[in-house]
Amino acid sequence: MPKRVIISGGGTGGHIYPAIAIANELKTIDPTVEILFVGAEGKMEMEKVPRAGYQIIGLPVVGIKRQLTAENLAFPFKLGRSFWRARQVVRDFRPDVAVGVGGYASGPVLLAASLKGIPTLIQEQNSYAGLTNKLLSRRARTICVAYPGMDAFFPEEKLTLTGNPVRTDIMQAGMKRTEGLSFFQLEPERKTLLIIGGSQGARTINESVEKDLNLLIESGYQVVWQTGTAFIERARQAIADAGTDRIKAFDFIYEMDLAYAAADVVVSRAGALSISELCLVAKPAILVPLPTAAEDHQTKNALSLVNRNAALLVKDRDASTELVPAALRLLADAGQQVALSQNISGLARPKAAREIAEEVLRLIK
């Protein structure tokens, strides 16, 4: 009888893509394993997971807003409905193990599974654990983490240091520079700046780039700019007004392996997945942590690199005046690029997906 695994969570690419990487690795180890994803209705996993070839079921679960809103009043009811639905899913699918990667859906699913005696595994991506995972850790059998020192949040005996799983295509980016330059219609003799703000874009980064667009154009460099859907039309208009074809704007980049391959320097938020990818592709990076992230975990993620001279940091509040000038200085400094690249590559954990998949299968045994 084939092994059955539920993988739950999502909300952002930082949760979804590690989940898909784990699923792919499980299939590589054992092609007969049956995998069901459970996400939150209306969130991006409902589109990204089927695109990756997996079935997903949505729960009506939502997060709590920081302000008092009507949505917050509905939160307990949606959470209750989600738990009831999660119990149905667990009963019908009969998994051998349930995996939570963070995000709204992981709470009801892992709780429902553990109450049925099904072993659960948590994959915590960040250097600062979220509230849901801290609560779920009491019942979890295994907790896979990306950073040392996570015994501050979880029982030490349950921890396994694996790193964050990254898609295989991104791990192969180093061999795709020519393909990446061709895909984005870039000139091989010019240096390339890649600007990414996470799967939904980053307003501060976008506005900083827009403000200093002329500086970027005058520098002679070329830019691949991922804006998110909310900013894309504004970015395209700014580029059209500037009359340049050396700045390419995209709302979302599916071919991130090719984007990394083409880049000489990367500007990025400091989400856990972004940092894991940057370590694996060994790109010189300027990190702009999202200050409103829970417990300021993006700053903690960024400092784990900055303190090892493996990346540079520009604070969100300083980005409008400092970000583009810092990127131009780094693009002009080949020596610093080499140093950052060497230091960040030493922090990569390329076998993370395999190690987590093996932990999942070990729980079944």
Q: Is 14 annotated as a binding residue?
A: yes
Among 170, 201, 186, residue whose Cα is nearest residue 267: 201
| Helix or strand run (H / E) with residue 120 | strand 120-124
User: Cα–Cα distance between 340 and 328 in angstroms, integer?
Assistant: 15
| Beta strands at 247-250 and 159-161: parallel, antiparallel or unpaired | unpaired
- E strands along 162-218, which residues? 192-196
Helix locations, 30-151, DSSP H: 45-51, 70-93, 106-115, 131-136
C-alpha 105 chain-centroid distance: 16
Report how far apart the first and last C-alpha atoms of the chain are (Å, whole number).
Answer: 13
What percentage of the chain's residues is helix, strand, coil (to nearest 5)? 50, 15, 35
| Helix or strand run (H / E) with residue 223 | strand 222-226
- Report CA Rg, the chain: 21
Q: Where does residue 201 rank: exposed (0-12), middle (13-18), buried (19+ CB within 10 A)?
A: buried
Q: Is 298 annotated as a binding residue?
A: yes
Q: Is 126 annotated as a binding residue?
A: yes
In the structure encoding, which two tokens stand for residue 121, read together?
Answer: 């595994």
Q: Is 8 annotated as a binding residue?
A: no
Q: Is 29 annotated as a binding residue?
A: no
Torsion angle in degrees (nearest 10) through CA of 143, 147, 151, 157: 40
Q: Is 114 annotated as a binding residue?
A: no
Cα dihedral sign, 15-330-251-171: negative
DSSP 150: G
284 φ, ψ (degrees, to nearest 5)? -60, 130
Among 74, 124, 120, residue whose Cα is nearest residue 98: 120
C-alpha 273 chain-centroid distance: 3
Which residues define the annotated binding site for UDP-N-acetyl-alpha-D-glucosamine? 12-14, 126, 167, 199, 253, 298
Residues annotated in the binding site, as ranges? 12-14, 126, 167, 199, 253, 298
